[in-house]
Chain A
Amino acid sequence: MQIDFIAILPEIILTVTALLVLAADLALRGDAKQFVNPLAGLGTVAAIIATVALWGSERVTFGTMYVVDDFAVLFKLLFLGTLLAILAISWRYIAEHRFFQGEYYFLLLTSFIGMLLMPSSRDLIMLFIALETVSVPAFVMVGMRKRDLYSSESALKFFLLGVLAAALMLFGMSMVYGFAGTTDLVGIAAAISGETASVPLLLGSVMLVLVGFGFKISAVPFHFWAPDTYSGAPMPVAAMLAVASKAAGFAGLVVVAFIAFEPVADVWGPMLGVLAVLTMTVGNLIALQQRDLIRLLAYSSVAQAGYILIPFGLARTGPGAAVVNAAAIEAVVFYLIAYAVMNVGAFAVAIAVERRTGLRSIADYAGLSGRSPLLAMGMTVFLLSLGGAPLTVGLWAKFAILEAIAVDITLFGIVLAGFLVVNSVIAFFYYLKVVRTVWMDEAPAGLPQLQPGFNLSAVVVVLMVGTLVLGVLPGLVTDFSSVISIVAAG
């Protein structure tokens, strides 16, 4: 069998980088250990180059198990870009807080290897292993603030719920395999559509698989771990869980739902739609009452997951379904890119503020505008964008969802759109509350000026510019996300 090594080059580069990081950490002593961070950054840049080179090609390798198409490349670029930003905001935080640095970066890179594999996997076993490769290092990274019982508690919670989700998903997958006789996603779709009457067992196992992904993306009945885990984890890890790990969950969900389970879209579509409504409403209502910024961002990310689930609710099967499904996938991908840009930015500002003061309740952001205009500006842009204000990419992300709904208007679609609009209004309350605190409230006396490091400032500036530029010219991304549509539908 011929292996297409070019197709898996980004993963190979990241793997080599991870091992190099581990070896470098062994060789370096004391303060020099922090220089594994630029090493990891270099590897990431190399992986980005290798991924960009794959754009436009369609490579299939390892049987039909591994497919690199534009859909996968777009997701891989999203993950690698996020990894670069997270490396930049991690540097000082990890170097100053007495973490095991080499191990931290090794685990981070390993987790991202799993993410890179996710959108390319066309096989249940491969998908499951990719998902576990994302999760297992994350369990450890959450618990890395070892002196802090709060961190240990959040790691344990994350671990137990993650394992439960993995068990449910694996059980569902095993029964899907028993039914279809193959783990190949296209083969499963063929086996399901070959069935005349719907089989309850099959629908049950489809639900189990989707529930497993529901945990990963913290959709509402399965969101309980998210706020506790985010607030107990080291903050760069919280950013990674909220953005990259969630995007990986969505990538897997898109692949499994729209390829393998496409013939039963009439069943899981409405179910995920209801889940979307629950997720955004509950997430936003709880976020309203948060006083801790990280918990607010956690519940806001739950709500955002609800928005991203809306296009899944539109999915259907039968004649004319391909157009609707393609539009839905496009909306999901665009929203995820926008979400990554603005949410990593918000976490970067939170890290900068906490780094100097060790505090992160929303009241402590009072007068941030005086203490660091850049961070205040950044926080404002990111939060307004998360809310969906005009001139930011957040508006276009919500617009993309409405566009997907408008492709073929149904009553359920209108209900979903209504919930989207109402929830956006609710969300503005708590985003604007923070913005008001940042600009209007007096800073408590004696707080020092904030001096974010070069890396972190660069990340904040780049993401801020990205949020605004994409807010004016969303075509920069939609041009790319529109070409991918055909791929995942087929």
Chain B
Amino acid sequence: MIRFAPIQTALVSLAWLCACGAPAASGVSPQKMADALHVVLESDRTVYTRNVVNRLQNQEKVIKASEYWKDDKALPLPAQMFRMGAEMAAEKNPGFTYGLLSLWPVNKQNAPVTDTEREGLDYVAKNVGSNFYAEETLGGQQYFTAIYPDTAISDACVSCHNDHKDSPRTDFKLGDVMGGVVVRIPL
């Protein structure tokens, strides 16, 4: 946990900028804010995937990563780590939300539910390397919504999704866009 403290501090700082309406005063646009958040989120997750899960599970074979990490006394999967962080951040009401969605989710609850999510996930899957930005109104509140491609960066991502009994798609390859990170900032 100590390892990620600077990242969490950065998230809170960014959240403060957002919650205080700082964009207009400081010139930080919602897109720049979302992009900055995503850089932190993506870096955090990549470090965990490569330096923790891949190293300990696949290279040094010290411990496995498991969907049922508590029961199996194993490491949480990178996607689970990401979601747990998103839930913990949401509990602190930081002024933004983020999540991991997919057109081919293992858990159907992580399929797109808004028009923007459907359009954005389709866009980042078809336009490799591009992000998707839009505004949408949910529950009477207007949001800036950014969707970033979520790419299979290790064999573990590919094999886990292709082999999972609840996965609707089983032909992922390394480098494929498997879904998207969705960041929402209220306007």
Chains A and B form a bound pair: no
